[in-house]
Structure 1
């Protein structure tokens, strides 16, 4: 049974809390395309609480971004447009503590460790089952997916259908996009990893689950608000 989640782009803790009460398994706090700061993202994660796993998508795969969102209490980090095993290895190194990685031990000053009250417990748990979501959303990323999946510490391959399609010069409803999604799911399964995706024309919740995707984002705050308001005005006008 897949886990179902949603995308959070509006920089609002209140919206985050509303979404958390819906019952989603995970919520992606999007700092790549959303305008929120790390400070706002931390408030959103506080609002989400334990009702869903908060995954933060960083704008880019750098040590500073990975470290800051994890210290803020993210339940996992998603990194966009990873195209090589070397990139994936760097991300893993920045995300985990020694001996698994080289993440700095800000023991008493970060939310992730309950402000220093249980750092050793957090460190042990995170190093054992931390979530590192690697986005495959380019032709180069798909070409190197086997090597990326083989990097120890990567836990999920997440297919970015829109960016992949744009990079490949095809539409999101093309057979090429569906084939790319299928490859992501197959490689993830072969390496014992999770596979994630947003919806796209041929990627419905049912078809993605059938392909083997384990984490499927089925909604977003912006689209939900837009569609409901559009529908309300349309219904009112008859």
Structure 2
């Protein structure tokens, strides 16, 4: 029996646009709520959310019951943590702060087994191999691995073509927030210069036939990027949706406005 099919990677190859959501609440219960909303992919964030391996495992287990593709963002592109994320069952990895082709090649090696890479062979102990019940895991895992490198700096953009051309890089994700800061627009990812840099990167990746993605809460810009050829776009985060809805409810009540309409309750 081979490794599970990576639907996210397959759809990237097919060219289907995939719409996603960022998850930073670090909780399996809220992940299950997000999974039922109909998104194509969901990010389990290990860089800026308070996640550890145990909380990530819980979220992956919750998502497994739904037709949604999990993407796990590593806190950093170090071999030791990538190995652990793969062993807990991540098949699509997003690695932040990639700025050179050499760094991208090192990441490719880190997520693949010898002789193609340097991933440690310990899957018999891991959730990834269904705890050694997937007999062909070691020989089939590489083919279902999806490595997404995140470019979010001026240096990364300068090396974009070289990074995208590294064999084994499956997709490139542009991070507007850190890119904005590096360009001198801290806290302003919607600045015209930043948006133009993202558009240019999307067009370049499209010309290179490299799947491109990004995160933006600006729905008009998200649609524009999809028109430019982006293959996977996250259009919000669970944290901001939750905090925004709670704040709006309180403001509405304080202002005497109509109550927020809610779906019928099935009980408490």
TM-score bracket, normalised by the shorter chain, equals: over 0.9
2 CA distance for matches of 1:38 and 1:113?
Answer: 17
Q: From 180, 196, 201, give the equivalent of 1:184.
A: 201
The structure with the larger Rg is 2
Supply the distance in 1 between the matched residues of 2:60 and 2:148 (Cα, whole angstroms).
Answer: 17
1:213 paired to 2:230:
yes
1:96 aligns with 2:90: no
Question: 1:110·1:116 contact (CA, 8 Å) conserved in 2?
Answer: yes
Q: How many corresponding residue pairs?
A: 237
How much does 1:196 deviate? 0.7
For residue 125 of structure 1, report the CA deviation from its aligned partner.
4.0
CA distance in 1 between partners of 2:164 and 2:39 (Å)? 26
* Secondary structure of 1:151 counterpart: coil
Q: CA deviation at 1:119?
A: 4.6
Residues 1:174 and 2:191 are matched in the alignment: yes
Cα deviation, residue 210, structure 1? 1.0
Is this contact kept in 2: 1:172–1:200, CA < 8 A? no
Q: Are the counterparts in 2 of residues 178 and 202 from structure 1 also a CA contact under 8 Å?
A: no
Q: Aligned to 1:161, which of 176, 183, 204? A: 176
For structure 2, list consecutive stretches of 5 or more residues without a partner in the other structure. 1-15, 257-268
Alignment check: 8 A CA contact 1:9 1:34 kept: yes
| Alignment match, 1:72 | 88
So what's the TM-score if we normalise by structure 2?
0.84
Q: How far 1:202 moved relative to its partner?
A: 8.3
Q: Indicate yes or no: 2:134 matched with 1:118.
A: yes
Tell me by how many angstroms 1:211 deviates.
1.4
Question: Are the aligned partners of 1:7 and 1:221 in contact in 2 as well (CA < 8 Å)?
Answer: yes
SS of residue matched to 2:209: coil
Is contact 1:173–1:202 with CA below 8 Å preserved after alignment?
A: no
Aligned residue among 242, 245, 251 for 1:225: 242
* Distance in 2 (alpha carbons) for counterparts of 1:219 and 1:200: 5
In structure 2, what is the Cα distance between the partners aligned to 1:192 and 1:72?
30
Select 2:36's aligned residue among 18, 21, 25.
21
Contact 1:173/1:200 (<8 A) preserved: no
RMSD: 1.6
- Structure 1, unmatched stretches of 5+, are none
Higher mean alpha-carbon deviation, 122-131 vs 89-98, is at 122-131
